C-alpha cells in the first residue's frame, strides 16, 4: 500500500512513540477493506509498539479502524482510507495516541482536558480537501486529550449513502452528537472557543488588559505575516490580530509561483508563515475580528475595536485584512450555501461524483475548476458573464477538449434554485437575446474573484469604488499612522509574493513613521516598563 520512500519516512516518525498503539480494524470483503488492511499491515510492520487487530462481526462502519493505547481512554476512528491530504492526519494521530506531545499551547491542552459533557464528533472529509486536515487533526487531538470526546473521521466519497442521507454537500462538515456543528475550516482554538462558552469572555478580558503596541497588524495572511516579522525585527512591541492566520492562502490548493519553491500547498505555506511569526517576539491574537478603527487622538494611539468587545491600541496600525470569495448576490445563493452552492472545487468536488454542476466564472480560477470537476462529475456547465472566456489560452484549449463540458458566454446567473434542502438548478439570462434559461443540476461552484475585507473601514479610511484601501507608494492610507498592505489595497496584481513585499514595505514605512513622531507619554512609559 505504501511505497518504500513513504515507509522510510513514516518509520522515522514512529520512532518517537513512547507507548503502545493498538489499531482495531472493522472490515468486510470489499475492495476498500482490502486496501485498508494492506495499509494497516504496512504500518504495523514499521514499529514494535504498533499492533493490529481485525474484526469482521462488529457494528462499526466498514471499512474503518480505531486507534487506542492500552490503559488510555481514547476514542478515535478513521472510516475510510486517510490518504491524500489526510495522510498527515493519520501520522499525527498515531504519534499522539502513542504519547508524543502535541505542538499546541499548554493553555489549549488544559482547556481541552477541562471540557465537561459527552461529545461525539463525526467529520466528513475528502482526500483532495486541503481544509479538512485542520478539522480532523484538531478533533483527533481532543479525543486523545479528553476521554469525553469521541471522533470519527469519515471519507465522504466512500460512504456516499451516508453523505446523501445526511445531506452533506461540502467538506469538511462536522456533526456533534448527531446534529450539524460546523462546516469549513476550523482549528483547535476555534473549536474550543465554541465548546467552552466562557472562553470568549476570558479572551476579551485578556486582550483588554494589553498595553499599547508600537505596531499592530490586523490580518494574518502573507501581507500581515511579513509586516509583523519586519516590525518585530526592529525590536519594537508588535502585535497581530487575525481572524484566521493564513488568510486566503488557506483556501489555495497548489502554489507553483512562489519564487524558490517549485511547489507547495496553501495550508503548508500558512503554517510556515505562522511559525515564522511566532519565532519572533510577536503577540499573536487569533480568532479576532476587527470591527471599528478609531483614528489617533491626543494620546497618539490608533484604536482597533474587536468583535468580542475588547479593543487594542497602537502607535501605528497596518491593515492587512485580505479578501474573500466574491458571491454572486442572487436569490438562493446564501440559502443553499454548503447545500449545493460551493466555492472550493478541490474540497467539495468529490461529493458531486456522477452529478451535474455549474461553474460560474470564466477566468483562470473558473476554467481550472471546470477542468478539475470534469474528471469527477457527470457534466459541467461553465457560465461566463462576458462574451468570451478570460482564462489563459492553454487552459481554454484543455477545457474545450473535454467531452462533458458545456461553455455558455454572455450569460448572467439570476437565481439559484432548490427544493428547500439542496440545489436543484439555476436560472441565467442571455445577455444578448434577453431570454431566461433554466439548468437542472445539483451543484454550483462560484469562481468570480475576490472581495476585499474592508466593510468595517467605510467612513474611516479612503476606499476605492471597488472597496479597496487607497494607499500611496509607501503603503500609507488616508489616516496618519495607519498603513495597509495586500489584497485589501489598491495595489494591482493580487499575488502572494506581491502581498508579502507590500507587507514588508508597509512595516518599514510604519517604523519610519514611528521614529519621526514623538511617542506619547503613556506609550513611552509602557515601552520602558517592557
Measured between alpha carbons, how far is 267 from 247 in angstroms, rounded to an integer?
10
Mean pLDDT computed over 31-42: 96
**177 φ, ψ (degrees, to nearest 5):** 50, 40
> pLDDT band at residue 257, thresholds of 50, 70 and 90?
confident
Mean pLDDT computed over 398-409: 98
* Grid cell locating 264: 507547495
Measured between alpha carbons, how far is 430 from 404 in angstroms, rounded to an integer?
22
Tell me: cis bond preceding 63? Omega within 30 of 0 counts.
yes
> pLDDT band at residue 173, thresholds of 50, 70 and 90?
very high
- Report yes or no on 74 lying in a domain: yes
> pLDDT band at residue 28, thresholds of 50, 70 and 90?
very high
> By percentage, how much of the chain surpasses pLDDT 70?
98
Q: Name the domain boundary from 160, 179, 196.
A: 196
Same domain, 358 and 438: yes
Which of 80-83's residues contact partners 24+ apart within 8 Å by CB, and which partners? 80/32, 80/153, 80/154, 80/155, 80/157, 80/158, 80/159, 81/32, 81/35, 81/36, 81/39, 81/127, 81/155, 81/158, 82/136, 82/153, 82/155, 83/39, 83/127
CATH code (residue 383):
3.50.50.60
- Report yes or no on 330 lying in a domain: no
pLDDT tens for residues 50-60?
A: 999 999 999 99
Measured between alpha carbons, how far is 169 from 152 in angstroms, rounded to an integer?
18
> pLDDT band at residue 425, thresholds of 50, 70 and 90?
very high
What are the distances in angstroms from CA 435 to CA 246, 382, 410, 427, 428? Answer: 43, 18, 11, 10, 9
Query: What is the pLDDT, as a whole number, of residue 519?
Result: 61
Query: What is the pLDDT, as a whole number, of residue 63?
Result: 97
Give me Rg for the CA atoms of the chain. 25
Same domain, 15 and 117: yes
Same domain, 519 and 387: no
Q: Are the CB atoms for 43 and 10 separated by under 8 Å?
A: yes
Predicted confidence (pLDDT) at residue 526 exceeds the cutoff of 80:
no
Measured between alpha carbons, how far is 313 from 324 in angstroms, rounded to an integer?
26
Residue-number span of the structural domain to which 425 is assigned: 341-448
> pLDDT band at residue 525, thresholds of 50, 70 and 90?
very low
Mean pLDDT computed over 363-373: 94
Q: Name the domain boundary from 433, 448, 463.
A: 448
Query: What is the pLDDT, as a whole number, of residue 4?
Result: 93
> pLDDT band at residue 529, thresholds of 50, 70 and 90?
very low
Q: Name the domain boundary from 196, 219, 242.
A: 196
pLDDT tens for residues 298-331?
A: 999 999 999 999 999 999 999 999 999 899 999 9
Mean pLDDT computed over 342-371: 92
Q: Give me the helices (H) in 233-282, please.
A: 266-278
| Displacement of CA 216 from its chain's centroid (Å) | 23
Mean pLDDT computed over 248-255: 82
Mean pLDDT computed over 497-525: 85
Domain count along the chain: 3
Mean pLDDT computed over 131-140: 95
Query: What is the pLDDT, as a whole number, of residue 202?
Result: 87
> pLDDT band at residue 521, thresholds of 50, 70 and 90?
low
CATH code (residue 119):
3.40.30.80
Least confident of 147-161, 187-201, 316-330, 452-466: 187-201
**pTM reported for the whole predicted model:** 0.80
Reading phi first (left if > 0) and then psi (alpha if -120 to 50, else beta), residue 55 is in beta
Q: What is the DSSP string of 157-194?
A: TT-HHHHHHTT--SSSEEEETTEEEEES---HHHHHHH
Same domain, 11 and 151: yes
Same domain, 428 and 464: no
Same domain, 462 and 352: no
- Report yes or no on 56 lying in a domain: yes
> pLDDT band at residue 163, thresholds of 50, 70 and 90?
very high
- Report yes or no on 94 lying in a domain: yes
Query: What is the pLDDT, as a whole number, of residue 520?
Result: 59
Same domain, 464 and 524: yes
Query: What is the pLDDT, as a whole number, of residue 102?
Result: 95
Same domain, 44 and 156: yes
Same domain, 468 and 442: no
Query: What is the pLDDT, as a whole number, of residue 509?
Result: 98
Mean pLDDT of the chain: 94
> pLDDT band at residue 522, thresholds of 50, 70 and 90?
low
- Report yes or no on 335 lying in a domain: no
End-to-end CA distance of the chain: 55
Same domain, 297 and 363: no
> pLDDT band at residue 352, thresholds of 50, 70 and 90?
very high
Query: What is the pLDDT, as a whole number, of residue 450?
Result: 87
Least confident of 105-114, 212-221, 243-252: 243-252
Query: What is the pLDDT, as a whole number, of residue 199?
Result: 81
Same domain, 24 and 38: yes
Same domain, 319 and 354: no
- Report yes or no on 403 lying in a domain: yes
Query: What is the pLDDT, as a whole number, of residue 406?
Result: 98
**Residues in the chain, how many?**
530
- Report yes or no on 336 lying in a domain: no
Amino acid at each position: 500500500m505504501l511505497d518504500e520512500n513513504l515507509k522510510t519516512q513514516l518509520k522515522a516518525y514512529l520512532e518517537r512513540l513512547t507507548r503502545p498503539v493498538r489499531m482495531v480494524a472493522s472490515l468486510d470483503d470489499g475492495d476498500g477493506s482490502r486496501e485498508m488492511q494492506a495499509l494497516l499491515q504496512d504500518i504495523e510492520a514499521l514499529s514494535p509498539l504498533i499492533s493490529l487487530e481485525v474484526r469482521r462481526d462488529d457494528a462499526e462502519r466498514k471499512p474503518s479502524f480505531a486507534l487506542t493505547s492500552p490503559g488510555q481512554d481514547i476514542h478515535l476512528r478513521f472510516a475510510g482510507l486517510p490518504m491524500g491530504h489526510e495522510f498527515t492526519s493519520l501520522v499525527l494521530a498515531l504519534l499522539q495516541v502513542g504519547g508524543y506531545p502535541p505542538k499546541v499551547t499548554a493553555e489549549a491542552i488544559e482547556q481541552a482536558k477541562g471540557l465537561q459533557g459527552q461529545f461525539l464528533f463525526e467529520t466528513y472529509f475528502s482526500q483532495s480537501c486541503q481544509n479538512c486536515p485542520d478539522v480532523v487533526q484538531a478533533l483527533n487531538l481532543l479525543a486523545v486529550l479528553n476521554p469525553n470526546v469521541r471522533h470519527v473521521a469519515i471519507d465522504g466519497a466512500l460512504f456516499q449513502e451516508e453523505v446523501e442521507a445526511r445531506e452533506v454537500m461540502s467538506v469538511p462538515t462536522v456533526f456533534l452528537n448527531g446534529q450539524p456543528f460546523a462546516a469549513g475550516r476550523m482549528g483547535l482554538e476555534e473549536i474550543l472557543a465554541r465548546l467552552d462558552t466562557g472562553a470568549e469572555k476570558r479572551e476579551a478580558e485578556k486582550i483588554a488588559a494589553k498595553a499599547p503596541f508600537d505596531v499592530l497588524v490586523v490580518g494574518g495572511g502573507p501581507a500581515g505575516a511579513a509586516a509583523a516579522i519586519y516590525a518585530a525585527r526592529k525590536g519594537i512591541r508588535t502585535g497581530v490580530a487575525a481572524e484566521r492566520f493564513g488568510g486566503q492562502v488557506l483556501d489555495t490548493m497548489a502554489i507553483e509561483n512562489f519564487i524558490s519553491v517549485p511547489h507547495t500547498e496553501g495550508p503548508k505555506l500558512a503554517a510556515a508563515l505562522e511559525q515564522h511569526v511566532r519565532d519572533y517576539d510577536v503577540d499573536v491574537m487569533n480568532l479576532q475580528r476587527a470591527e471599528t478603527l478609531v483614528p489617533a487622538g491626543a494620546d497618539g494611539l490608533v484604536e482597533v475595536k474587536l468583535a468580542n468587545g475588547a479593543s487594542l491600541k497602537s502607535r501605528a496600525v497596518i491593515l492587512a485584512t485580505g479578501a474573500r470569495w466574491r458571491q454572486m448576490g442572487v436569490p438562493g445563493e446564501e440559502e443553499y450555501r454548503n447545500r449545493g452552492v460551493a466555492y472550493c472545487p478541490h474540497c467539495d468536488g468529490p461529493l458531486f461524483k456522477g452529478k451535474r454542476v455549474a461553474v460560474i466564472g470564466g477566468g483562470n480560477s473558473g476554467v481550472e475548476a471546470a477542468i478539475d470537476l470534469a474528471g469527477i462529475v457527470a457534466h459541467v456547465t461553465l457560465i461566463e458573464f462576458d462574451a468570451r472566456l478570460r482564462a489563459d489560452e492553454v487552459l481554454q484549449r484543455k477545457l474545450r477538449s473535454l467531452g462533458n463540458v458545456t461553455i455558455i458566454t454572455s450569460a448572467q446567473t439570476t437565481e439559484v434554485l432548490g427544493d428547500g434542502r439542496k440545489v436543484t438548478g439555476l436560472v441565467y439570462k442571455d445577455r444578448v437575446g434577453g431570454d431566461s434559461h433554466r439548468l437542472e443540476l445539483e451543484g454550483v461552484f462560484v469562481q468570480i474573484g475576490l472581495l476585499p475585507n474592508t466593510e468595517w473601514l467605510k467612513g474611516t479610511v479612503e476606499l476605492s469604488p471597488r472597496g479597496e484601501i487607497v494607499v500611496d507608494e509607501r503603503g500609507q492610507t488616508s489616516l496618519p499612522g495607519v498603513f495597509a498592505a495586500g489584497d485589501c489595497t489598491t495595489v494591482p496584481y493580487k499575488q502572494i509574493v506581491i502581498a508579502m513585499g507590500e507587507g514588508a514595505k508597509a512595516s518599514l514605512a510604519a517604523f519610519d513613521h514611528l521614529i519621526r513622531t514623538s511617542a506619547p507619554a503613556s506609550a513611552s512609559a509602557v515601552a520602558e516598563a517592557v
